[in-house]
Amino acid sequence: GRLDGRSVLVTGGGSGLGHALVGRFVEHGARVTVLDRSEPKLTALREAFGTGVRTLTGDVTSFADNKEAADLAVREFGALDTFVGNAGVWDFGRSLLDASPEELGTGFDELFSINVKGYLLGAKAVAPHLISSRGSMIFTLSNAAFFPGGGGPLYVSSKHAGVGLVRQLAYELAPEVRVNAVAPGGMATDLRGPGAMGLADRSVADAIPIRQMVRDNGALRIEVEPDDYVGAYLYLACRDDSATVTGTVVDVSSWGTPKRTGAV
């Protein structure tokens, strides 16, 4: 496979896009370590992929948990070549006017803590290992990293912040480590929201007709599965394919600005 013997760490690999990434990385010969806060999802992942994966139940907002996951990958698989920061939450399009001041404040803290601080602390934990292996980081952003309407102000600004993080880390970690991102569009996944906004028990797939929205608003008018976005990650993870690529966001969303529909 394209990634034979490579060691990859994926955050939020328990479901959705992260799960699709784990499957395809394993299929291409990589050994994969997964950090996710859902123990049941990780149990299912180990049952599905067996010895190709190692898992750690933990929270990406904790540096200690990120470090434990990075150390686990190195201990089990001898090195770490690729870090995929992917765990995230959504704000269900809760707008400035619809959110209470309290929800904006506590929702910001919780959502940015996962979507932005989680990526920053993950990067901090893996950087020494990636410098040794001359590896790379890949972050999951979104159409919301470029356009309004794919969430409310909290989610959209968190994904825009991810673009700045990618550019700055690419600048700081060159020439040893390449740092890039992928911006997928909508997917019917278990994507949840901040508990502080009462959105921890809703998933995007249940809340909105996301498949149809992606098909009807997307330029290509196709139904999309998480697996359809994985190719860009494989490209960025394979040094032979993307040796010159750093500090960039590969936009695979074909989505742009959704029609204004209001809160969901």
Residues near ligand NAD (CB under 6 A) are: 12, 14-18, 36-38, 41, 59-61, 86-89, 114, 140, 142, 184-187, 189-192, 204, 210
Which C-beta is closer to ligand NAD: that of 152 or that of 184? Answer: 184
For residue 152, give the amino acid letter. G
- 9-20: string of b/e by CB count within 10 Å (b at 16+)? bbbbbbbbbbbb
Q: Considering beta carbons, is residue 136 or 143 the nearer one to ligand NAD?
A: 143
User: What's the min distance (Å) between Cβ of 21 and ligand NAD?
Assistant: 9
Residue in the shown chain whose Cβ atom is closest to ligand NAD: 16
138-167 core/surface letters (b: 16 or more CB in 10 A; e: else)? bbbbbbbbbbebbbbbbbbbbbbbbbebbb
Which tokens hold the place of 187?
A: 């997917």
**Closest to ligand NAD by CB, 87 or 99:** 87
Exposed/middle/buried for 186, CB within 10 Å: 0-12, 13-18, 19+? buried
By C-beta, is 125 or 191 nearer to ligand NAD?
191
Least separation in angstroms between CB 150 and ligand NAD: 7
**Annotated catalytic residue within 119, 155, 229, 233:** 155
Shortest reach from residue 4's CB to ligand NAD, in Å: 26
Provide the minimum distance between the beta carbon of 197 and ligand NAD in the complex, in angstroms, as a whole number: 14
Asked if 171 is an active-site residue, the reply is no
**Which positions are catalytic?**
155
